[in-house]
A and B are shown apart, each in its own frame.
Chain A
Amino acid sequence: MISENLILDRGVSAGDAWMTVDPADIRQALSTLKDGGYRLLVFLTCVDHLVDASRSFPARYELVYELRDMDRPEHLRVRAFVDGDPPRIDSVHDLFPPANWEERETYDMFGVVFNDHPDLTRILMPDDWVGHPLRRDYPVGGEVVEFSEEHEIWQTAPDKA
């Protein structure tokens, strides 16, 4: 189905099959899989592996694409590891329409930039929000509370995204 040279690594995690591909090949890999029957993108998200000592990862941000073949029914998880500031990867919104909002959410929460996305803007947080809240270096409770007696303490959001 998918040519072997696209796959960098593959395995099974708690019963779920997965494969890792090069972020540069993500569109090619996903469109091949789509033609092979995995026509539904169940979800798309990102995992921030900042200071994760349990395993070794090629890069800090792991993009996760969960695909489903509804006829068989079967799941496949595709991973792509990206780094950089901001991390970049190609958008797949034209291959899988549900990815449109999911990519906006991932951009909003992790600051991952999806190339060629038609409307890459914040979706859940306010437009003028600073930082990307689901990054591991973004503190819980980092929200600026105006008129709070502890105003200075609460201003812990990082300066730039």
Chain B
Amino acid sequence: MSTPEGVTISRTGEAGAFGGELLTVNFGPHHPSTHGVLRLIVDLDGEQVRSVKPVIGYLHTGIEKQMEALRWQQGVVVTDRHDYLSPPINNLAYALAVEKLLGVDVPPRANALRVIMSELTRLSSHLVWMGTSGLELGAMSMLMYCFRERDTILDMNEEISGFRMHTSYIRPGGVMADATPRFLEMLEAFIRAMPGHVDEYEELLTMNPIWRSRTIGIGRLSAEDAKVLGATGPMLRGSGVAWDLRRAIPYSGYEDYDFEVATSDLCDCYGRYLVRIKEMRESVKILRQALDRLPDGPVNVDDRKILPPPREELETSMEAVIHHFKLFTEGYSVPPGDVYVAVESGRGENGCYVVSDGTHKPRRVKFRSASFVNLQALERMALNHMIADMIAIIGTADAVLGDVDR
């Protein structure tokens, strides 16, 4: 959070290219188009941007420190909350990391449910992005359309996990509970309806002259720059690099699904929009396959050292009572070592680096958040653009400030 003190607007004394003087302007942190509390200190020459300095930390909640004070299974609840638009994907990264250290593999049905939840989350995250970005750039009705479908997804979250947003559904060792028949019916109806809804969004935006003139050619990021700056997700694919962790380093059985990696060679805000639209269609395709091939069987590993025994066993088995007691008082211990697992979230590589010292609490948990790294490319994209285009550029970077600050 390092800044020159009290900057609002000040003259720099440097001459600009148009005969004026460079002005330093404070953009945010409470500006609604900054998607949270992002503060930018912008040097302006007339209306042109000459330098951008992001200031972050306004949403820092100490999640990594908190994780060290919680037992392994308790940490799941905290992971929901850093990237608050994709909780199940955060859960998944943490769960996969802990499982890799423990050396356990979850049953096929759990993997399929994890894929279903990940794709639903990706859809809801892209819907929030499209709704708010449309709102900022003058397409007011987008928010209504996008939040209509997002609400259906939140209803499904509620049906399967009991929570609408912070689901904590995916846990080390499996998932919280099996999918209910009603959830599967809701999912079936959603998969049937969603492609038509995506067509609707495209009708509203893809050929919309205002949307096109505000995004085409704005915020260019070449493929080489995107790679060097470490950008991931739609930022990288919008620059024409076909890199998707679901394809490159598959996890949770993504190698068995047939989907295309969406890319666009436009390298601008419009390209990133096209990538997200395509990704929504591909997510629906993955959901279709996952639902059709949903295997039967348990949704949790059969290991009493990691997950509690079923309720009915507690009445007949002394051993089950002991396991139950140990798990809820002490928790389980994870063998010493460290591991890094990355999953593809709606905004890029969402990784989890976990260090265990062999006790019942993690020694260190580091979240590699896509937003934090993608935000560093902001200056490269915004340079020499008009200040009004900053809105489009921040929008399509799709940084979630909770994810940036953790």
Contact = CB atoms under 8 A, between A and B. Distances in A.
A127 B364 contact: no
Given A14-B337, A54-B336, A54-B358, A43 B243 contact: no
A97 B377 CA distance: 10
Given A15-B100, A70-B243, A125 B60 contact: yes
Given A43-B351, A75-B340, A96-B230, A125 B376 contact: no
Interface residues of B, number: 45
B228 A97 contact: yes
A121 B364 CA distance: 23
Contact of B101 (A14, A100, A119): A14
A77 B340 contact: yes
A133 B65 contact: yes
Contact of A42 (B2, B243, B248, B349): B349
Interface stretch (B152-160, B302-310, B366-374, B383-391): B366-374
B366 A14 contact: no
B229 interface: yes
Interface residues of A, number: 42
B19 interface: no
Contact of B366 (A13, A43, A52, A100): A43
A98 B376 contact: yes
A140 B351 contact: no
Contact of B355 (A39, A41, A47): A47
A100 B2 contact: no
A96 B249 CA distance: 22
Nearest to B60: A124
Given A13-B339, A42-B349, A47-B363, A97 B65 contact: no
11 contacts: A16-B338, A39-B227, A39-B228, A40-B230, A41-B230, A47-B355, A64-B338, A75-B340, A122-B2, A125-B60, A134-B64
Interface of A: 13-16, 39-43, 45, 47-49, 52-55, 64, 66, 70, 73, 75, 77, 96-98, 100-101, 109, 119, 121-127, 133-134, 136, 138, 140
